[in-house]
């Protein structure tokens, strides 16, 4: 163990981890599964106009002790702090999101993922991609189909970058492209400010919540709630009002809903 920027014991309780921790592959894979099952992806702060803070103290206060979730910067920064406290060698990278984008679209570097060096090899970890978040650990190897607790994933080389894809049904879908240039906190602060405040950022006017557990993924996009069964069908239904949305956030997504005067109004305005 090394000195931690977060309360590691409290974090492990938050994700329901009761085993010993050590910088091993088994521990890394277990922590990824536990984190993605316990801490939901969510963007309530940008939707409500609340600043998204990325300091270790803010992440501890909001996610560990506050029962909230967060989006990529919050999730992967928190996970990175925990990994380094355990003794892993982990650094942050930046990616251009391609999910649901037309082919050839150039997007900004608004996503964070982690590179973990373990057993003499590089691994890719990402607990903060939302509905298609990576619930396993990938080897940084091209052209190899890799099994995760949910879908198959693979990494490709494209114009000097790495391209991450997931197998959805019968086709491969691109998630994002990235390189191996390590990022500094200020890089994430800049991207986070854009994502959480810019009027063109979909996080400021859409609700996006997701959580994965064995055999299924839960996803909420505005009022549409979906349960994606691994290798099977998807169930969908439309929520009728803010009360039903809040009940789902607290129940299915295990999220402590913030006490905010604008919450009911903003949720009530979401499109179906």
Angle between helices 72-86 and 185-197 (to 10 degrees): 150
2 in any annotated domain = no
Q: What's the structural domain count of the chain?
A: 1
pLDDT tens readout for residues 102-145:
888 899 999 999 999 999 999 999 999 999 999 999 999 999 99
pLDDT at 2: 60
Quick one: average pLDDT of 260-272? 95
pLDDT tens readout for residues 137-176:
999 999 999 999 999 999 999 999 999 999 999 999 999 9
235 in any annotated domain = yes
Look at residue 59 and tell me whether its pLDDT is greater than 80.
yes
pLDDT at 3: 64
> Coil, strand, or helix at residue 185?
helix
1 in any annotated domain = no
- Identify the CATH number of the domain in which residue 263 sits: 3.30.2140.20
70, 210 in Cβ contact below 8 A? Answer: no
Does residue 126 have an active-site annotation?
yes
- Average model confidence (pLDDT) for the chain? 96
User: Which member of 81, 111, 150, 228 is catalytic?
Assistant: 111
Percent of the chain clearing pLDDT 90 (strictly above): 95
Does residue 111 have an active-site annotation?
yes
State which residues form the domain around 147. Answer: 8-268
Residue 100: HSE in the Cβ half-sphere, 13 Å Cα cutoff? 5
Whole-structure pTM over 0.75, yes or no? yes
pLDDT at 103: 86
Does residue 246 have an active-site annotation?
no
pLDDT at 245: 98
140 in any annotated domain = yes
User: Which member of 27, 35, 60, 72 is catalytic?
Assistant: 72
3 in any annotated domain = no
166 in any annotated domain = yes
User: Which member of 60, 126, 150, 228 is catalytic?
Assistant: 126
Closest CA to 138 of 159, 167, 111, 158: 167
């Amino acid at each position: 163990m090394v000195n931690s920027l977060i309360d590691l014991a409290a974090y492990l309780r938050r994700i329901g981890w009761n085993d010993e921790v050590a910088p091993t592959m088994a521990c890394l894979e277990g922590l990824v599964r536990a984190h993605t099952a316990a801490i939901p992806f969510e963007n309530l702060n940008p939707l409500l106009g609340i600043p998204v803070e990325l300091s270790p103290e803010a992440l501890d206060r909001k996610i560990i002790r506050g029962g909230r979730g967060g989006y990529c910067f919050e999730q992967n920064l928190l996970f990175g702090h925990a990994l380094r406290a355990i003794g892993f060698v982990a650094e942050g990278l930046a990616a251009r999101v391609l999910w649901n984008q037309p082919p050839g679209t150039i997007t900004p570097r608004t996503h964070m993922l982690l590179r973990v060096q373990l057993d003499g090899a590089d691994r890719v970890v990402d607990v903060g991609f939302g509905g298609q978040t990576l619930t396993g650990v990938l080897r940084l190897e091209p052209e190899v189909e890799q099994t995760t607790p949910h879908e198959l994933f693979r990494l490709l080389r494209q114009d000097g970058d790495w391209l991450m894809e997931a197998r959805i049904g019968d086709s491969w879908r691109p998630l994002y492209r990235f390189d191996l240039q390590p990022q500094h906190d200020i890089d994430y602060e800049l991207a986070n400010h854009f994502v959480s405040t810019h009027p063109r950022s979909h996080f400021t006017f859409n609700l996006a919540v997701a959580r994965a557990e064995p055999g299924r993924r839960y996803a909420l996009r505005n009022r549409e709630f979906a349960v994606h069964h691994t290798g099977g069908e998807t169930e969908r239904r439309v929520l009728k009002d803010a009360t039903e949305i809040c009940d789902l956030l607290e129940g299915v997504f295990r999220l402590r809903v913030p006490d905010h005067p604008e919450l009911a109004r903003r949720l009530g305005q979401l499109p179906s």
